[in-house]
Amino acid sequence: MTCSDVERVLPELLDDAPDGALPGEVEAHLKSCSACSDLVSDLKLIASEARQLAANEEPAPRVWLRIAAELRAEGLIRDIESAAARPVLVPVPTSSGRRWSAWWLAPVAAAILAAGAYVISHKPAPQVATHQAPATPVTAPAAVAASVTLAPVPAPAPQQLAQKSARPEFAKSESARSAGVRRSEIESAPSAEDQQFLSAVSTLAPSMRTTYELQLQAVNADIRETQAYVDRNPGDMDARQHLMDAYQQKALLYQIALDRIQ
């Protein structure tokens, strides 16, 4: 059995055997192939982590439908008539040399979205809307300074955060400094999925490695920066939405790679 044979059958096998038991010939190949073995480990880890997410923490069905529709349109998945429309991964034709076998990115992108949804769904008690007394027309925001904000969680103003965190070793961006994010936090090591992603890019599209690495670093920095801010200001609903947006940006990056690295 070859690596491509394993890649072709693996998604169905993992779906059919959630306990991890694989046919003997696949197991035999995995023992002799570290690349496939690592791939299986990663997929099992992703599947395991995904199962940890409760149903109400999953993205809306339309998110899954959209991902499925895009994958189906790309020919990466097909519907089995007898399997009640459950999509399965299909091998990508390689004769043109245009696409690479990176179907594992699909669950990773989905996991990123799920993680974002998880973060967003774990919000504290809803913030009470801002009430403003009717006033005469105003030109500047200062004129509505008399507005009353009732928030259940008192959060320090960003200006206060900036004063607290204005130390030279902090992150280079003004926003990162304002959020009190340390450089070490901004530049932390890439995750296993990111490393696998970059490894695939290096192998199949080495000229694009730097581009994708920089984009990935920037998106990850945005996520960490926003997460740090949300941790300090759990009642800031808009910051939470930005965190979700940042996760979606990362999912978009994976999707672009999934679409077309050649």
Partner 1 sequence: MASLQVADLRHTNFGRTNLGRTAVVTLVLATCLASAAFAETKKEYSFAVGPNANISVDTQYGAISVRPGSASQVMVTATLKSEKVEVDLQQMGNRIQIASHLLPGADEATGQVDYEVLIPPDATINAHSSTGPLSAEHLQGDITLEGPDAMVNVRSVENGHVHVQTMRGPITLTDVRNGHVEIASISGDVHLKSVSGPLVQVNSGSGKIFYDGDFGSGGDYKFTTHTGDIEAVAPADVSADFSAHSVLGRVHNDFPLQPKAHSRFSFEAGRSFFGTVGKAASEVVLRSFSGRIRLKQR
- Applying CB under 8 A, the residues found at the interface with partner 1 are 96-98, 127, 129-132, 134-135, 137-145, 147, 149, 151, 157-158, 173-176, 178-179, 207, 211, 215, 218-219, 222, 225-226, 229, 236, 238-239, 241-242, 245-246, 248-249, 252-253, 256, 259-260, 262
119's enclosing H/E stretch is: helix 105-121
With contact defined as beta carbons under 8 Å apart, do 228 and 185 qualify?
yes
Min dist CB 56 to partner 1, Å, is 24
Phi, psi of 89, rounded to the nearest 5 degrees: -75, 145
Q: How far is 31 from 104, CA to CA, in rounded Å?
A: 20
Which CB atom, from 45 or from 138, has the smaller least distance to partner 1? 138
Q: How far is the CB of 36 from partner 1 (least distance, A)?
A: 25
Smallest gap from residue 243 Cβ to partner 1 (A): 9
Which residue number, 11 or 180, has a Cβ lying nearer to partner 1? 180
Torsions phi, psi of 213, nearest 5? -65, -45
Cβ at position 260, least distance to partner 1 in Å? 6
Of 42 and 245, nearer to partner 1 (C-beta) is 245
The nearer residue to partner 1, 54 or 129, going by C-beta atoms, is: 129
Q: How many residues in total does the chain contain?
A: 262
Contacts of 17 (CB under 8 A, 6+ apart): none
Give Cα separations from 135 to 128, 130, 140, 148, 150 (angstroms).
21, 15, 13, 14, 19
